Amino acid sequence: MRSFEIPTHYRSNLIGRLKAFRKAQDPKKKDLSPTLLDLGAVRFVLARHFGFCYGVENAIEISYQAIEQNPGKRIFLLSQMIHNPEVNADLEGRGLRFIQDTHGHMLMDWAELKADDIVIIPAFGTTLETEARLKAIGIDPLRHNTTCPFVEKVWKRSAQLGEKAYTVVIHGKAAHEETRATFSHTAQGAPAVIIKDMAEAQELGRIILGELPLERFQALFGTKCTPGFDPARDLERIGVVNQTTMLATETQAIADHLKQVMVRTYGDAAVGSHFADTRDTLCYATNDNQDATHELLKQEADLALVVGGYNSSNTSHLVELLEHRFPTYFINGEKELLSAREIEHFNYPAHRLERTPDWLPAQRPVTIILTSGASCPDTLLDRVMLRVLGFVEGVKDPVEVVGMMTA
């Protein structure tokens, strides 16, 4: 896999060295066991996989190249390039402006854009409608297109399903940029409906089985399906794809459930004509990070710190996994570690910031799970780690310990 030119301020002297060491030891990524960084009074347990993925590094490289190669030009980001406030703030500090927020709401008027402006498409991709709007202004939407190749893979698979007269069931969050883009690209060639979780998959299954009236479809999915969607016709042949940052295990469980619905409806012999196998749309990086997080669940630890943007879907799912076993704190970075006695963290289900006292146990050593989402720079984890160490007496020098581990 190719390497990318990432600005040096995103490179890590500590976490990055450990990740590179593990990669050199295990290039085929067969060993998912975490890395233990023992600093005496504090022990960090690091996931085997975390941080910037291929798609994010690709997006960062293209964005910073656009700045370097177009001095004097106005440069815009269609929306947040990735869901990390540190990266987006750095780009804004270099003069870039956002056209929309992460939900697609306009932050400026389209009329402000001129044909010679630079517009960068984020890693999540964008809708065909937005592409058409940019083309009408005279801006080539593909010139600085950072859409993740794995998102584009989902679009291609959806198109293939449409060509074979399948309806596409998209497992995702309807308001998320990637899901809006996938829905738009899918809708040009196939009926499509978005479901957010297993509960909605079960409701959809009951409609297919005739256990719920067809009118129920409109009530549940009327705002999340293509115009003219006819459940009596369009739910006879289906395939499932996903927003690549969703829990892969949940996507597979949803696909398995809907396949069994088709078996019950049409019989084993005919299920191949009514349900398409779409496992190949799952993102490798999301899978790696989630598989590595499952390995963390086997460890003994006092708490978990998960670092990333609060609107990052893939990061929220890591929190969701870890909080079943450990006291888990979702933070943007080291600033949320207010003191050894208090932490500010994001309650994802409630979508609000909270403060928790006595988050750092008094016993020594204290063992901390540390990981991050796919859009989080490793330097942020360095800073979080150093901030924690600053609260504890008698810790070893992390530079020396990492140096000995990777020598």
Residues labelled catalytic? 178
Distance CA 335, CA 227 (A): 46
Rg (CA), the chain: 23
Distance CA 263, CA 239 (A): 14
Sheet (strand 118-120) strand order? 97-98, 75-77, 118-120
Distance CA 184, CA 196 (A): 17
For the chain, the straight-line distance linking the first and the last C-alpha, in angstroms and rounded, comes to 25
Which 3 state secondary structure label does DSSP give 61?
Answer: helix
Strand 342-347 relative to strand 42-46, pairing: unpaired
Strand 366-372 relative to strand 303-307, pairing: parallel
Query: Is 394:365 a contact under the CB 8 Å cutoff?
Result: no
Q: What φ, ψ does residue 365 adopt, rounded to 5°?
A: -75, 155
Q: What φ, ψ does residue 295 adopt, rounded to 5°?
A: -70, -35
Closest by CA position to 78, among listed 52, 111, 104: 104
Name every residue whose Cβ is closer than 8 Å to that of residue 374 and which is 6 or more positions away in sequence: 50, 51, 52, 53, 55, 56, 245, 285, 286, 289, 312, 314, 315
Report the run of H or E that residue 168 belongs to, with start and end.
strand 167-171
Name every residue whose Cβ is closer than 8 Å to that of residue 43 and which is 6 or more positions away in sequence: 36, 37, 365, 366, 367, 368
